[in-house]
Amino acid sequence: MSLQTAIRSSVAPTEAPSTGLDAPPRLLIVDDIGDNRTILSRRFLRRGYEVMEAESGAEALALIDRESFDAVLLDVMMPGIDGIEVLRRIRSTLSPLDLPVIMVTAKSQSEDIVEALELKANDYVTKPVDFAVALARVTAQIDRKRAEDEIKRANASLKDVNDSLEKRIAERTVALVEANRQLKEEIQQRQRSEAEIRQLALHDALTGLANRVLFRDELEKVLATATGDTERLAVLFIDLDGFKGVNDSLGHSIGDVLLKDIAQDLRGLIAGRDVIARLGGDEFAILHHCDGRPDSAARLAERIIRTVAATRSIDGQMLAVGASVGIVVTSGAGKTPEELLRNADLAMYKAKADGRGIYRVFDPAMDAMVQERRQLEVEMLTAFVQGQFRVYYQPLISLGSNRICGFEALLRWQHPERGLISPVDFVPVAEDTGLIVQLDDWVLREACMEAAKWGDDIRIGVNVSPVQFTRGNIVNSVIGALAVSGLKPSRLEIEITESVLLEGSEQTLKMLTQLRQIGARIVMDDFGTGYSSLGYLRAFQFDKIKIDQSFVRDIAGTTGNGAIVQAIAELGRKFGIATTAEGVETQEQLQLVISEGCSEAQGWIFSQPIPASKILALLTMQSAVNVELLKQCVGLA
C-alpha cells in the first residue's frame, strides 16, 4: 500500500478531524500484513474509531509527521524499519502522553516487550490479537491522553482566570497585603539570584576556586591596605607541566577531573588570609601573606611542586604531572595587580626554561629580557618588510674529488644599527611568532634562483624550520621555488633537524615523502644530537646526514667523538647515505674526518659563509682539484 493510505472512517476524508473530546478517536495501525490491518481496522471502525493504516515503519513515520493521531497500534516485527526502531524515532519527538504507542508482538519471549517499555511504549498486546484486550488497552490510553489534554486545557483556563483576577486585584488595590508579600518575596529572590550570579561571575565553574576577576579584586584590596613597611606579600603563579599531554591523549573529561583533584590539593596548602584562584586552563595563582617569614613563599612553592607531582589514579589511569612556579615578593607599595601577575608569570616561564618542576623568584632582569624580545619581534617584522635579511652561502667540499659539490644557504640579518645578527639570536623568536614560515619561503626562493646560475653538478642546501611542517605548506613552497627558478629538483637539498620528526606525525612523514617524490633530496642536519637518531633513519629514507659540529670540534680529543664520527660515517655507508662533517676548522680535523670515511666536509677551513656575489668567482677559480688551492681561492674572493 502506498503512502497515500486509504482512510477507513465514517468521516469524509476531506473533513478536518476535530480535536474536541466528542470527536472520534484517530488510530494508526502499523503492520506489514494487510489482512491483519484489515481485520483490526474493520473492528475499530465499528467501535467509532477513525482509522489509518501503514504497511511499513517508514510509511508510519511519514504519516505521524503529517497527521495527528490519538494512538498508534505498532507491530514489532516488520521488514525494513522494525517496530522497535519506529518507536525509538517517535519518542525522539513525542512523549508517551503526546502520542500513546501500543506494541503488537507475536513473540512469547519478553525481550521485545521489555525493550519497548524501556523505550517508553505505553502498553502492548500479543498476537494473535485478542480484540477485546486491544480495544480496552487502546481505549484506556486514549482516555488517559484525552484526560491529560483536558487537564492541560483546564489548567490553562484556570491560569487565565487567575491572571485576570490578579490583574483586577492589582487594578483595584484590594489586596495590598498580598501585593506587599509578593513584593518582599520578589526582592528576596532577586537577592538570591544576584548572589548566585556573583558566585558564578567570581568563581571558576570547574574547581570552585576564585577566578581571575576575584583574584585581581582581592589582590587590589590587599595592595590598597598594605603599609609598605614590614608586611610582605607574594604572588605565586603556577603552571602545570605535562597537562596538555594528558588532555590530548586521554581526553578533556579526564583532564577536568585531574584539574579538580589538583585544585582541591592546592586549596589544602593555604591557610588564613591567603587566596587561591584558577586563572584559566592549567594555570593557578596564590596570594600569600609572608607574615614576617621571608622564605615562606619559597617553602610554599616547594610544597606545591611536591603536591602536584604526586601520582594520581583517575578513572583507572595512573597520571603524573608537574608544576612550574613563579614567585614575586613585594611590600605592596606602588604596585598594581597586573604588574605583580605579569612578573610572577615571567618568573614561572623562567622556571619552565630552566627545566620545569622548579620555582623561580622574579628578577627585574627577566622583565628586561622580555622587553628586549618584544623589541626584537617588532624590528624583525620591519626588517622583513624593508629587506634587511640576507642569504649567505657556505661551500660543501667533496672529500673524494676535493671540489665544491654544493652550498648551504644561511640566513643572516643585516641590522642597520647592530650590524650582522646571527640566526641563533633571531630564529627562535621568528619560530615563536610564525614569521619563520615567511622567512623560510623567502630563503628557499632566493637560494634556488641563485643556484640556477651555477653548474648542474652544484647542489644547494636550504634549512627548513619544524614550524614549516605544522604551520606552513613546505611542499607547495618547494614546488613554487623550483618553478620560479627553473632549478632541477635533484639539485635542491632540504635540511631538517631531528626535532621535525620528534614533534611531527604521520603527516610530517607524508610531506617528506612528497618532497622526495618531487625529486628534492632530504638531509638530516645536526645528526646525533637528538633523542633517537637511529630510529629516524629507519622511519625515513634520507639522502644525506650531516654530522653535528659538536662531534667534529673534539674529534681529536679523548671524549670518544672520533669513534662517534667513524660510527656515523660507517652507518652512512651501510645505508648508502652520504655523510657531511660540519664545522671543520683545522687541518687536523680535516685529516681525521677524511680518515674516518666522511664523504663531504664543511667549515671555516674552506670558507666562511659568503654573499651570493662571490660565488661565481669562487667556482670559476676552482680550476685545481685540491683543497689547499680551494682555500686560497676563498681567501682571494
DSSP state of 479: H
Task: Using the predicted structure, report yes or no on whether residue 381 has a pLDDT greater than 80.
Answer: yes
Weakest mean pLDDT among 82-91, 109-118, 411-420, 584-593: 109-118
Weakest mean pLDDT among 50-59, 408-417, 548-557, 598-607: 548-557
607 and 491 both lie in a single domain: yes
346 and 455 both lie in a single domain: no
pLDDT grade for 472, boundaries at 50, 70 and 90? confident
How does strand 50-54 pair with strand 26-30?
A: parallel
In what helix (H) or strand (E) does residue 341 lie, and over which residues does it extend?
A: helix 337-353
Task: Using the predicted structure, report yes or no on whether residue 627 has a pLDDT greater than 80.
Answer: no
pLDDT grade for 634, boundaries at 50, 70 and 90? very low
259 and 314 both lie in a single domain: yes
Burial track 309-342 (b if 16+ CB lie within 10 A, e otherwise):
eeeeebeeeebebebbbbbbbbebeebebeebbb
- Give the residue, 167 or 413, on which the prediction is more confident: 413
Across 136-198, the runs of DSSP E, i.e. the strands, are none
For residue 315 the three cell numbers come to 578513572
Task: Using the predicted structure, report yes or no on whether residue 364 has a pLDDT greater than 70.
Answer: yes
Distance in angstroms (rounded) separating the CA atoms of residues 51 and 72: 10
Distance in angstroms (rounded) separating the CA atoms of residues 461 and 511: 18
Residue 248 lies in a domain: yes
- Alpha carbons within 13 A on the beta-carbon side of 98: 9
pLDDT grade for 195, boundaries at 50, 70 and 90? low
For residue 505 the three cell numbers come to 606525525
What pLDDT does 216 receive? 93
What three-state secondary structure class fits 50?
Answer: strand
Domain holding 122: CATH number? 3.40.50.2300
* Highest mean pLDDT of the ranges 109-118, 226-235, 296-305, 625-634: 296-305
What pLDDT does 637 receive? 35
Average pLDDT of the residues in 150-179: 82
Domain boundary among 333, 362, 391: 362
Weakest mean pLDDT among 5-19, 106-120, 512-526: 5-19
Distance in angstroms (rounded) separating the CA atoms of residues 427 and 429: 5
Task: Using the predicted structure, report yes or no on whether residue 635 has a pLDDT greater than 50.
Answer: no
Distance in angstroms (rounded) separating the CA atoms of residues 581 and 593: 7
Average pLDDT of the residues in 409-414: 94
Residue 202 lies in a domain: no
Question: What is the extent of the structural domain holding 222?
Answer: 212-362
Distance in angstroms (rounded) separating the CA atoms of residues 304 and 358: 10
290 and 384 both lie in a single domain: no
Going 350 to 354 to 357 to 362, the CA torsion angle's sign is: negative
Domain holding 415: CATH number? 3.20.20.450
Domain boundary among 319, 338, 362: 362
Domain boundary among 99, 125, 151: 151
378 and 344 both lie in a single domain: no
Closest CA to 436 of 409, 468, 413: 468
306 and 425 both lie in a single domain: no
pLDDT grade for 154, boundaries at 50, 70 and 90? confident
Q: What is the pLDDT of residues 496-550, one digit of tens each?
A: 987 787 655 678 888 999 999 999 999 998 887 655 456 667 777 899 999 888 8
260 and 230 both lie in a single domain: yes
What pLDDT does 348 receive? 92
The answer to whether 397 touches 371, Cβ cutoff 8 Å, is no
Distance in angstroms (rounded) separating the CA atoms of residues 7 and 22: 19
Weakest mean pLDDT among 126-135, 197-206, 281-290: 197-206
345 and 379 both lie in a single domain: no
- Alpha carbons within 13 A on the beta-carbon side of 178: 8
- CA end-to-end span of the chain: 95
Average pLDDT of the residues in 301-324: 92
Residue 6, amino acid: A
- Give the residue, 229 or 421, on which the prediction is more confident: 421
The answer to whether 602 touches 580, Cβ cutoff 8 Å, is yes
332 and 382 both lie in a single domain: no
Indicate the number of domains in the chain. 3
Average pLDDT value over all residues in the chain: 85
Residue 324 lies in a domain: yes
* Highest mean pLDDT of the ranges 185-199, 330-344, 582-596: 582-596
What φ, ψ does residue 621 adopt, rounded to 5°?
A: -80, -5
pLDDT grade for 368, boundaries at 50, 70 and 90? confident
Distance in angstroms (rounded) separating the CA atoms of residues 544 and 576: 9
* Peptide bond just before 611 cis, omega within 30 deg: no
Across 290-402, the runs of DSSP E, i.e. the strands, are 312-314, 317-319, 322-330, 359-361, 389-398
For residue 548 the three cell numbers come to 653535528
What three-state secondary structure class fits 457?
Answer: coil
Residue 8 lies in a domain: no
- Alpha carbons within 13 A on the beta-carbon side of 434: 4
544 and 405 both lie in a single domain: yes
Residue 129 lies in a domain: yes
Report the percent of the chain where pLDDT is more than 70. 89
Domain holding 263: CATH number? 3.30.70.270
Residue 289 lies in a domain: yes
What pLDDT does 180 receive? 82
379 and 439 both lie in a single domain: yes
Burial track 196-208 (b if 16+ CB lie within 10 A, e otherwise):
eeeeeebbbeebe
How does strand 275-280 pair with strand 283-289?
A: antiparallel
Distance in angstroms (rounded) separating the CA atoms of residues 553 and 528: 14
What pLDDT does 429 receive? 86
pLDDT grade for 596, boundaries at 50, 70 and 90? confident
pLDDT grade for 79, boundaries at 50, 70 and 90? very high
How does strand 233-241 pair with strand 283-289?
A: antiparallel
Residue 15 lies in a domain: no
333 and 285 both lie in a single domain: yes
Distance in angstroms (rounded) separating the CA atoms of residues 223 and 202: 19
In what helix (H) or strand (E) does residue 578 lie, and over which residues does it extend?
A: strand 578-581
Task: Using the predicted structure, report yes or no on whether residue 14 has a pLDDT greater than 50.
Answer: no
β-partners of residue 318 are 313
What pLDDT does 5 receive? 44
What three-state secondary structure class fits 398?
Answer: strand
The answer to whether 415 touches 406, Cβ cutoff 8 Å, is no
Closest CA to 521 of 408, 632, 602, 385: 408
Residue 167 lies in a domain: no
What pLDDT does 167 receive? 84
Average pLDDT of the residues in 138-146: 90
Q: DSSP of 521-550, one letter per residue?
A: EEEEEEETSSS-HHHHHHHS--SEEEE-HH
